Amino acid sequence: MNEPQEPGQINVEPPQAPLPINDIAGRLKRFTAAMIDGLIGMFVSLPIFNHFGIWEAVKNQQEVPASVSYGLAAFGVVMFFILHGYLLFHFGQTIGKRITGLAIVTLTNEKPPFAALIVNRYLPQWVVSFIPGLGPLLAIADVTYIFFNDQHRCIHDLIAKTKVIDLRVKVPVAPNSLVA
């Protein structure tokens, strides 16, 4: 705070710009976070794919046995919890979201309960991915929905009643909000 220079002089602080109201994460930051998570997942999966000969089967256009496919799916879920479980439980973030400064919150800016986050946000994506032929198309529809609404929410956000916010954007918050 500046002290007045002369007796009787009033020092008026310049008005501060109001804080933005919207802290919704931008599409590019969400994409970057998802790419980081995807690259990490791919990195830890490569040794398993090599061990089970997945690359050879794909290269030779051979079908992967169902037992291997289900085993890889189970491995993927376990690795998801190993990689992201702690951050999701404590902060509503994956590794990619943590790096980019994003977080998953409820519509009232609170950290979602872990079980609800998994059951409502991630489980539907995992289940849909097993629908032959249609799974990949539904996954694409899920993530591209972000371009068709102002809230930058994917279909999995709508199902889980969550949104992704940019923690680096300072906004006025309610006293009980977990977002500071």
The predicted structure's pLDDT at residue 13? 63
H or E element in which residue 165 lies:
strand 162-166
Residue 11 belongs to a domain: no
Provide the token pair at 28.
């590019």
Domain range holding 47? 27-166
- Look at residue 147 and tell me if it is in a domain: yes
Does residue 121 fall inside a structural domain? yes
Question: What pLDDT does 150 receive?
Answer: 87
> Among 12, 35, 46, 156, which Cα is nearest to 95's?
35
Total tally of structural domains belonging to the chain = 1
Q: Please report whether residue 76 resides in a domain.
A: yes
State residue 10's pLDDT score. Answer: 59
Q: What is the pLDDT of residues 61-113, one digit of tens each?
A: 888 888 888 888 899 999 999 999 999 999 999 999 999 999 999 998 899 99
Q: 128 lies in a domain?
A: yes
Residue 141 lies in a domain: yes
Q: Per the domain annotation, does 15 fall within a domain?
A: no
User: What is the structure's pLDDT at 71?
Assistant: 87
pLDDT tens, the chain, 180 aa long: 555 556 656 555 666 655 556 889 999 999 999 999 999 999 999 998 888 888 788 888 888 888 888 888 899 999 999 999 999 999 999 999 999 999 999 998 899 999 999 999 999 999 998 888 898 899 999 999 999 988 899 999 999 999 999 999 887 665 556 555
Tokens encoding 142: 């899920």
The answer to whether position 19 is within a domain reads no
Distance CA 166, CA 13 (A): 29
